[in-house]
Amino acid sequence: MVGRTHGVHAEPITFGFKMALWFSEMQRNLERMKRAQEEISYGKISGAVGTFAHIDLNVEEYVCAKLNLKPAKISNQIIQRDRHAYYLGTLAVIAGSLEKFATEIRGLQRTEIYEVEEKFSAGQKGSSAMPHKRNPIICERICGLSRVVRANAVTALENINLWHERDISHSSAERIIIPDSNILIDYMLQKFTNIISNLNVYPQRMKDNLEKTKGLIFSQKIMLDLTKKGLSREDAYRMVQGISMRVWQGQTEFRELLLEDPEVGQYLTKSEIEECFDYQTYLKNMDSIFTRVFGQ
């Protein structure tokens, strides 16, 4: 399939490469969640302002151990809310990842691209007015819910700032943002797991889209091969860009214009030009990349 930068065709990749990128990101999110769990797993029973004036430190240690918590090294009336902000911030990062993946599926499901598609079940309606519609509604739902989780993280950051040894301004907000964010992330993960498990993937459409720019996705290889023949990078860029603009304007295939161009012909033979249009150039390191991600 084609890789896109700024929404424009760039160079070839594979769909597996895109999935491996997502997998790696979720691995990082798993590690973040472990750190967040560690960060939030603290308790305190240290009195009204944290001085243990009327209770023994051993009581705190005993109770925290029973609850599988660590006693805070120091506290006032509460556990400091930077810990809660860290935890909810981690949930927001995970939500952001899911939104990013869902947005990509939505983009690739657009009619003019149509390389993947969220499963459309029998009897499902895409639109009450337009019977032909097959909309990525679950991906859209994930994108919307991600905004809520992110907003909750902002509230958690604002809860860090409390008056003196404690006020109660954080409490009312936490009663909403903590359960809601946890429930939402659980829901979003379940929904996106189902999306990936049932995703419709259209390899032929990916191949067809690779050809839409008439070979322009190989422009960097041409430019670099010209520089290897002694042409400056600036001149090589100018030469290849000029030919590329003619392709954008609808003039035949990139390969044909290169083969016909006398200036290019001074540096590259016809066989050397043909070799630049080999997809394997862009896929040769995929196995090594996958080994990095998934191991042996």
- 3-class SS of residue 2: strand
Domain that holds residue 123: 15-41+79-208
Classify residue 10: in a domain, yes or no.
Answer: no
pLDDT digit string, tens, across residues 4-23: 999 999 999 999 999 999 99
Q: Are residues 201 and 234 in the same domain?
A: no
Cα–Cα distance between 29 and 147 in angstroms, integer? 18
Q: Please indicate, yes or no, whether residues 136 and 193 belong to a single structural domain of this protein.
A: yes
> What are the tens digits of pLDDT across the range 70-111?
999 999 999 999 999 999 999 999 999 999 999 999 999 999
For the annotated catalytic residues, the residue numbers are 6, 127
Q: 268 and 181 share a domain?
A: no
Pair 257, 154 in one domain: no
Residue 3 lies in a domain: no
Give strand ranges (E) for the chain: 2-5, 8-12, 42-43, 70-71, 116-117, 200-201
Q: Are residues 194 and 240 in the same domain?
A: no
- Say how far apart CA 32 and CA 151 lie, in whole Å: 19
Predicted TM-score (pTM) of the model is: 0.93
**Contacts for 2 with CB less than 8 Å, ≥ 6 apart:** 9, 10, 11, 12, 13, 206, 209, 210, 212, 217
Q: pLDDT for 25-53, tens place per residue?
A: 999 999 999 999 999 999 999 999 999 99
Three-state secondary structure call for residue 295: coil
257 occurs within a structural domain: yes
Q: Are residues 151 and 289 in the same domain?
A: no
Domain count, the chain: 2
CATH number at residue 117: 1.20.200.10
Q: 187 and 238, same structural domain?
A: no
pLDDT band (50, 70, 90) for residue 132: confident
> Both 116 and 226 in a single domain?
no
What local confidence, expressed as pLDDT, does residue 130 receive? 81
Which CATH number characterizes residue 238's domain?
Answer: 1.10.40.30
Q: Which of 208, 232, 248 is the C-terminal boundary of a domain?
A: 208
Q: Tell me if 180 is assigned to some domain.
A: yes
Whether residues 110 and 168 fall in one domain: yes
The predicted pLDDT at position 129 comes to 82
